[in-house]
Structure formats: C-alpha cells, structure tokens
C-alpha cells in the first residue's frame, strides 16, 4: 500500500523542497520505491530533480503561444531546456494531468508517465508547473459547493485520485509531496487526503507562531475532509473523495549553525547558543502546544507507535544543521547533500575534511529520519 506524505508548513524558509528531495532519495536508497510530487507553483523541486536552473524565469513559461518561440534567444541553454520541458511535456506535469477534471474534458484522469530521477533507482518525479496555481479558485469553489452543484462533484477528489493512480502504476511505496507555503485550497486538499503530515521547522520565533496557527488549521482541514468524504455526491463521484487518514508524522528542526562539528557519537553537532535556545523552544512548542491540539482531533498515532519508531515525546524526528556550501553543490549536481563526493565538492585540505565530516553526519541524520518515517507508515498498514 502506498503512503502519501505531505511536507507542509505555511511558513516559508523552512527548506520544504530540500527536505523533500533529500528524504525521497534516502527512502529510495533504503530500498523503497518513491514518487516525488511537485505541487508548488515555484517548481523548485522539479528544477532541482531534472537539473534545471533554480533561476529560470518561470513567469515566462506560462506563455504557450507560438510567438513565445521567437523569444528563445533571450534564454540561456538551461532556461531553454526548462521552457521546452514545460511546453512540450505539459501533460506530464501535475497541472496538465489534472486538466480533464478541472476543465471538464470528456476523458478520464490517467496515471502520469513520470520522469525517473537520474542516479537513483526507484525514485521518480511527477513534475510541477507554474500554472497549477490557476486551479486554486476552481478547487476552492468546488470544495465549498460541490455537495450541491453536481457539475463540480469530480474536482475535490481529482488530486488524490491522480496522485494515487500514478503511484500505483509505478508500484510506489511512498509519495512525498512538496507544497507552497500557503493555506490555499490546493494545499488543503493535498494535506487532508495524505496519510502522514511531516512538518519542517526552523529555530525561530516565527516558527512557533506558525505552529500555533497550524494547530488550528490542520484539525479544521481534517473536519472538512471528514464531512466531504461522508457527502453522498462526493462519495459517488467519478473521483470519489476518500475517507481521511491524515496523521502527524513528526517535525524536523533545521537551518541552524554549529559551534562544534558533528561526530560519530553526536551526528547533530552542537548548535550555537542562540540557536540551541530556539531549538529547545520549538521542540517544547511542538510537544506541549501543537501536538496536544492535534491529539484532540484524532490526528496523532498511538504513543507506542512513535516510541517504537524511535521518536521522542517532543515528536522531533530529527535536527538538521545548515547545509552551507553543500547546498549549491547539491543543486548543481542534482544530488542530495549526503551523496556528494570529493569530486563534486572540488575542495581540498581542511575544507574538504570539514565538508566530508558534515556529509557523513547528514547521511546518518537522513537515514534516521527515513527509517522513522518508514516505521510510522508500516504502522498504518
């Protein structure tokens, strides 16, 4: 059975895309078959996974008219490659694949022919598209009125149907979904129909504010999904809205600086004083405020399930230090940080030693996170 994991926080700057990319690779390396889904209109996961520049002018790709070809000389070779992908392969993106449901075309949604990610067996990508944001309004209206307007009945269940049908066609064990930092209808739909919600955070005051907000938002989304799944019109639609199974998978705290490097015994390293204080505050906020609110709405797994997975009472699945110079190298070579070698780093001496020590640390950290996530997924059956 496929487990759909949404990587979600409506706070920006918490490395959702980087977490999705690295976690997907690690799960695949551990023997799982994994589908990455890019549901963020910025398409950064698509850019990193397919080796397209992170600086492509995405706003220019929305123009699919023939006249746009005349402007190709304004793009670099990498940008031309990106533009070609989005124009020639639109039907193989999340946006294009959903078109039959959202534009009432007389054909069924079909599993997407996903792109295998170079260098990692069993890892695939369902690419994003800048125009996916155009479906926000239609989805919002449908989620409010589809119970009374039959013409909209097939829209709320379409995303879940497409993602799970595509995953089934690949024999995927996991689907990892990257999303934008928003509380829009697209994210609401994906999160509410996922099996596990994984929350990336950063050690700062704004994260605590975001967690307080999410402690109200996620239960509200769950209640909406429960009501939708019980609605006769949606339950009998061509793309039925599913019974929600959403549970909190835990959080990761990341993007902090170290004053003492990681070691075999301490793979996290020691954060600097201010970061250490905020790491503790965020962990306490998750344990004593965020998680209890979710528990009241039935969004937590049994305590023994977290314990058996190696997750503590604070629900923090792992801590990840700042990647520093490893991040641009990771993006340049289309590799997760823990797969970088001396060849890709192009460093020497003490600098190379420090980078390789951090890479080994990150490898252990992501292995631990992936194993915990797999344990939670197995408990859901």
How confident is the model at residue 259, as a pLDDT? 87
CA–CA separation, 152 and 157 (whole Å):
10
Between the CA of residue 60 and those of 90, 225, 284, what are the distances in Å? 15, 36, 44
CA–CA separation, 95 and 88 (whole Å):
13
Domain ranges in the chain?
Answer: 6-379
Between the CA of residue 182 and those of 39, 187, 326, what are the distances in Å? 12, 7, 28
From first to last of its 381 residues, what are the pLDDT tens digits of the chain?
899 999 999 999 999 999 999 999 999 999 999 999 999 999 999 989 987 654 444 444 444 433 444 445 555 565 566 666 666 678 889 999 999 999 988 899 999 999 899 999 999 999 999 899 999 988 998 888 765 567 789 999 999 999 999 999 999 999 999 999 999 999 999 999 999 999 999 999 999 999 999 999 999 999 999 999 999 999 999 999 999 999 999 999 999 999 888 887 887 889 999 999 999 999 999 999 999 999 999 999 999 999 999 999 999 999 999 998 999 999 999 999 999 999 999 999 999 999 999 999 999 999 999 999 999 999 987
What residues contact residue 295 under an 8 Å CB cut-off, 6+ apart? Answer: none
Architecture (CATH level 2) of domain 6-379:
3-Layer(aba) Sandwich (3.40)
- Write phi, then psi, for 5 (nearest 5 degrees): -115, 120
Separation of CA 343 from chain center = 29
CB burial of 251-273 (b: ≥16 within 10 Å; e: otherwise) equals bbbbbbebeeebeeeebbbebee
Q: Using an 8 Å Cβ cutoff, are 216 and 223 in contact? A: no
Q: Concatenated DSSP letters for 288-339? A: IIIHHHHHHTT-S--HHHHHHTT--TT-EEEEEE--TTHHHHHHHHT--GGG
Per DSSP, helices labelled H in the chain are: 16-29, 44-50, 77-88, 94-102, 135-145, 158-170, 185-192, 205-230, 232-235, 273-285, 291-296, 303-308, 326-333, 342-345, 349-379
Give strand pairing partners of 7. 178, 198
CA–CA separation, 257 and 276 (whole Å):
9
| Total-model pTM | 0.91
Least Cα distance to 242 among 324, 157, 364 occurs for 157
Kindly state the tokens that stand for 207: 């994260």
């Amino acid at each position: 059975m496929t487990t759909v994991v949404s990587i979600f926080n409506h706070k920006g700057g918490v490395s959702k895309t980087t977490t999705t990319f690295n976690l997907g690779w690690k799960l695949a390396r551990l023997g799982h078959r994994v589908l990455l889904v890019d549901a963020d209109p910025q398409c950064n996961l698509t850019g990193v996974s397919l080796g397209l520049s992170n600086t492509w002018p995405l706003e220019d790709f929305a123009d699919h008219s023939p006249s746009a070809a005349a402007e190709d000389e304004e793009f670099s070779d990498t940008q031309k490659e990106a533009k070609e992908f989005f124009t020639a392969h639109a039907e193989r993106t999340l946006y294009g694949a959903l078109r039959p449901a959202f534009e009432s075309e007389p054909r069924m949604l079909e599993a997407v022919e996903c792109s295998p990610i170079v260098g990692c067996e069993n890892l695939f990508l369902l690419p994003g598209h800048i125009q996916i944001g155009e479906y926000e309004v239609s989805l919002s209206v449908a989620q409010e009125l589809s119970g009374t307007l039959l013409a909209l009945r097939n829209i709320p269940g379409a995303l879940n149907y497409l993602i799970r049908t595509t995953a089934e066609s690949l024999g995927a064990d996991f689907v990892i979904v990257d999303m934008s930092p928003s509380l829009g209808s697209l994210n609401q739909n994906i999160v509410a129909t996922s099996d596990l919600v994984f929350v990336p955070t950063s050690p700062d005051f704004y994260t605590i504010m975001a967690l307080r907000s999410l402690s109200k938002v996620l239960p509200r989304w769950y209640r909406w999904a429960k009501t939708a799944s019980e609605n006769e019109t949606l339950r009998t639609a061509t793309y039925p809205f599913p019974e929600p199974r959403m549970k909190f998978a835990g959080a990761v705290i990341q993007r902090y600086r170290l004053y003492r490097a990681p070691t075999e015994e301490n793979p996290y390293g020691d954060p600097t004083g201010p970061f250490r204080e905020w790491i503790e505050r965020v962990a306490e906020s998750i344990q004593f405020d965020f998680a209890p609110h979710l528990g009241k709405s039935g969004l937590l797994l049994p305590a023994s399930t977290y314990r058996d997975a190696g997750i503590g009472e604070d629900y923090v699945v792992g801590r990840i230090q700042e990647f520093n110079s490893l991040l641009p190298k990771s993006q340049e070579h289309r590799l997760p940080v823990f797969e970088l070698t001396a060849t890709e780093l192009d460093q020497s001496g003490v600098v190379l030693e420090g980078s390789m020590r951090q890479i080994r640390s990150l490898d252990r950290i992501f292995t631990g996170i992936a194993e915990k996530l797999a344990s939670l997924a197995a408990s859901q059956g």
